[in-house]
Structure formats: C-alpha cells, structure tokens
Amino acid sequence: MSEAIAFYVLSGLVLASAWSVVRNENLFHAGLSLILCFVGVAGIYVNLDAPFLGAMQVLIYAGAIAVLLLFGFMLTHDLMNAKQERNQHAAGIFAAVLMALVLIGTIAGAQWYGSSGQPVKFGVESLARRYMQQDLVSFEVVALLLLASLMGAVVIARKEEGSRD
C-alpha cells in the first residue's frame, strides 16, 4: 500500500519536473527541474528494491552530469536574459509522437515475467559476479567506449601547440 502511494507520488514528481524541463523558458530552472526528475527516478528505483541503482542515479546523473550541465550554463554569456527558442513545435511534436509510438509498441509487445518471490537482496558480491563473470564482455566494451570518448574529448579540448594565453 505505502509502496503504491510512493510510486504515484514519485511518478507525479517525475512527470511534472520533466514537463517543466521542456516547457520552462528559463534555462537554469529547466536544468534544476532535470535534476529533480533524476532524483525522482532514483526514488522509483529505491521503491523497486534497487537501492544501489538509486544511489548511482543520484551520484552520476544528479550529482555529476546535471551539475556539469549547470556549470556550462553558468559559463554561458548573459544567461539571466536567455530564453528558450520556441520555433520547433512541429519537430518536437513529431519526435514526441514517434517516441510514444515506439515505446507503446515495445511495451505492448513485450513478454512480462512476474515472480511472487522476494526480491534478491543486494550484495557487492552479486554485483561483482554480474560485472566480472556474466557480463564481462559488455562491461569491457562499455569501458573501451568511454575511454575512447574521453581521449577524443581531450584531443578536442587541448590547446594548440604554442598558443599559451
């Protein structure tokens, strides 16, 4: 019962803040709403007995990525007066409808497996087994991709030779 209440409250929070991300004219407020949305999603994870995933969501999305986003806003010139452009309605609606169709199609067509058993209790060992034995290849592929993007970012961001300012 209390889990259902928590789910509806959190879902309302996530949807409202996501709406605010899209519709807010003030970029900084939109960024803050995005963080609220991330935290709401983390709450849903915790509600689903996945506390580690929830903590990681807060740590990586709300605590690092979204803050970097705000960091970028703060470096942007004259942000106080910046307003979001509103001339992309048609494209936005098209993308949203397309996304909704894909999601509804996937969810309706998927096979759902339910289980009445207790959720698996979280442990570092099960996490480690998952990453280092079962899903080792995909884990390494992701690591390699991240390394490549990191090096790419360094190459793009580094200063040209002899252009010290």
List residues near another protein by CB under 8 A: 2, 28-29, 32, 35, 51-52, 55-56, 58-59, 62-64, 66-68, 70-71, 73-75, 80, 121-125, 154-155, 158
Q: How far apart are CA 93 and CA 9, in angstroms?
A: 27
Return the number of the residue (64 or 104) whose C-beta is nearest another protein.
Answer: 64
Collect all residues with Cβ–Cβ distance below 8 Å to 22 and sequence separation of at least 6.
Answer: 30
Return the number of the residue (81 or 111) whose C-beta is nearest another protein.
Answer: 81
Least distance to another protein, CB of residue 112, Å: 27
Return the number of the residue (108 or 155) whose C-beta is nearest another protein.
Answer: 155
Q: Which residue has the tokens 């915790």?
A: 46
Listed residue (52, 64, 59) closest to 125, CA to CA:
52
Least distance to another protein, CB of residue 138, Å: 21
Q: How far apart are CA 131 and CA 128, in angstroms?
A: 5
Residue type, position 3, single letter: E
